[in-house]
Structure 1
């Protein structure tokens, strides 16, 4: 999607449309895709009523989809004090949450696949079933190897992401330390300047200026 010649409103509309289409493509509700896209733009958690009004759908329809989204980890429900309404937002940090959701998804399928392979290796088969039994095990084993590669890749990406965050935090801390030192120098300079002004004010009188 080229956005160089579009307004931000156009970009938002396009993202909502694409999210809706993608949700339908993978077998989910188009409304769920729209809700996800809406939360992607939301700087603050949104209530069911706010979501319904912005998407111009019924509150009941949003309620049905949002419950499923919360269950799948696509968003979080945030109750507020002194407010009977529930509010919703995307999980934070978003990247880490998505990686964890994908890891959980493929781990569950890998475990099921391994259990199936284990059962297949121990069940009795007739001579006429040997060819089908062998090809099934071969293909499921290949699929299991693919799942394992995906999980290893996700683990590697998660580790790399965490390393990047730690590096950024160290740089941020270093920058804050340097800023603090710079501020200290500025304070000392201001103190010297103030001392000089005081000396000028009290010309001819004894004065002691002390610098740390």
Structure 2
């Protein structure tokens, strides 16, 4: 058992750092600690085992696991003869990042593009409105130009998202293994 004590400090350091930065994934530090518990576990864990280890309520534990499942950060495991749900970390860090980025950014990107496209259409109508003042038409033209620049950005962002889906991003930023 003394040997396992030597693992405690290095693991605790990583758990603390990861859990404090889980806000990037839109989750709390306690969900980050759960993720790290599963990451360092040498076997799939049940809700009860995780609850006992972290001292969280069953309801909090259930919500945390559901959140990690939704983010594709953990997955259910199956072991013959075990009736309770078991969970393990999906250890493909690259795919986990891609899944999260795609899930969060694509809908936001699409929503923004639709709003901008609709606004450009309305602003173009102002340009042809003979009752609109010259000043309003000029401002509409300025706004159209600004919004078209945003559309260029969102088009670029869609291509970035697509490169994650197709893994083409690795052509530009290869995975370099440490020696």
TM-score, scaled to structure 2 = 0.68
Secondary structure in 2 matching 1:96: helix
Give the 5 Å matches for 1:66-85: 66-85=65-84
Q: How far off is 1:17 after superposition?
A: 0.9
Contact 1:96-1:158 within 8 A present in 2 as well: no
Q: Deviations over 1:58-104 (max 9, x none)?
A: 22211111112212212112355543311111225443343344334
Q: How far off is 1:134 after superposition?
A: 2.6
Structure-2 change in CA distance of 1:160 and 1:24 (3 Å): closer
Structure-1 separation of matches of 2:32 and 2:145: 39
Structure-2 separation of matches of 1:114 and 1:92: 34
Secondary structure in 2 matching 1:85: coil
1:144 is aligned to 154
RMSD over equivalenced CA pairs, Å: 3.3
TM-score, scaled to structure 1 = 0.59
Larger Cα-atom Rg: 1
Structure 1: runs of 5+ lacking an equivalent: 1-6, 165-212
After superposing on structure 2, the runs of 4+ consecutive aligned residues of structure 1 that deviate more than 6 Å are 160-164
Which structure is richer in relative contact order (CA contacts within 8 A, separation 6 or more)?
A: 2
2:143 is aligned to 133
State how many pairs are aligned. Answer: 158
Contact 1:16-1:34 within 8 A present in 2 as well: yes
Structure 2: runs of 5+ lacking an equivalent: 1-5, 127-131
